[in-house]
């Protein structure tokens, strides 16, 4: 009750501490590293085995820190408004794919000669989602045809120009967390020529932002994934990889295979042809396993 009465402008210093349960095995270290490798300056950071990021919530910004507990994910939240607690927890569970059934995934992918060896090295692999599908859609456009590191840099520049400063007493919690990611509304009328990316990609970004802001593309909870993908593909500059990546990570579809992804193609070049259709209904997990295989010695990452 004390937390509920606290002023909205002075979040508790220690935050709200929660234990987020999950079932089965979980490759939490691999997942946090995946998120850390893609951390956007100002919005996310990863250090000391802890992933932290800002959140844009219905009643104001928040900050979350996620790390491993003994049999749970340790979640620490700092909220502008305590009424956002349920929304924040839902987003964190989606981000870490905590409601997955790893045994069901392993039953299909474990016997596979390509994916089985990787799964044995990375038991409990999950398919990381996102805290905000709209943010993920913008970042997917920024990530077109560039490296992960370059995409981080571009997103950081976008945040510094169009993001919203944390304020409300949250900005001093962690020096690296200063802004929430730029909202679709803030990007709709942005100048594509001032985004440090090709103008055509900048236009694609503003088209995506405008479509989300206006509701022409619905990425909210319970949206129709097929319809969302269809509407994304109708936008200028949005191809199958971008729409598929949004569907996989933003909308939590467990059965998306990014066959044109550079990392996926590189992994399959190492292993040879693979029966990708047989990986359904867990092809999103197969995609993550193929990405993970690139970080393993070849004799361990291939069949």
Give the residue numbers marked as catalytic: 261
Whether residue 213 contacts residue 222, with contact meaning beta carbons closer than 8 Å, is answered with: no
User: Tokens in use for 165?
Assistant: 């400063």
Whether residue 284 contacts residue 255, with contact meaning beta carbons closer than 8 Å, is answered with: yes
């Amino acid at each position: 009750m004390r937390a509920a009465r606290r002023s909205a402008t002075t979040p508790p210093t220690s935050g709200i501490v929660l234990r987020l349960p999950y079932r089965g095995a979980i490759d939490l270290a691999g997942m946090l590293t995946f998120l850390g490798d893609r951390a956007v300056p100002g919005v996310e950071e990863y250090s000391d085995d802890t992933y932290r990021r800002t959140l844009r919530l219905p009643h104001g910004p928040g900050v979350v820190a996620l790390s491993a507990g003994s049999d749970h994910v340790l979640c620490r939240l700092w909220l502008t408004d305590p009424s956002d607690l349920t929304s924040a927890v839902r987003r964190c569970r989606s981000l870490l794919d905590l409601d997955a059934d790893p045994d069901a995934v392993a039953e299909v992918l474990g016997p596979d000669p390509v994916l089985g060896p990787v799964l044995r090295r990375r038991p409990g692999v999950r398919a990381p989602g996102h805290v905000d599908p709209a943010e993920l859609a913008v970042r997917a456009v920024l990530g077109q045809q560039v490296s992960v590191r370059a995409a981080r840099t571009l997103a950081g520049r976008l945040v510094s120009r169009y993001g919203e400063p944390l304020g409300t007493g949250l900005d001093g919690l962690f020096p690296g967390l200063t802004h929430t990611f730029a909202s679709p509304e803030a990007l709709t009328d942005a100048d594509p020529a001032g985004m440090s990316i090709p103008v055509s990609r900048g236009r694609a970004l503003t088209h995506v932002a405008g479509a989300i802001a206006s509701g022409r593309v619905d990425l909210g909870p319970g949206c129709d994934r097929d319809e969302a993908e269809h509407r994304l593909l109708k936008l200028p500059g949005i191809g199958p990889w971008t729409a598929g990546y949004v569907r996989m990570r933003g909308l939590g579809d467990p059965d998306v295979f990014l066959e044109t992804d550079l990392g996926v193609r590189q992994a399959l070049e190492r292993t040879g042809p693979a029966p990708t259709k047989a990986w359904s209904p867990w092809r999103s997990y197969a995609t993550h396993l193929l990405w993970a295989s690139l970080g393993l010695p070849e004799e361990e990452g291939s069949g």
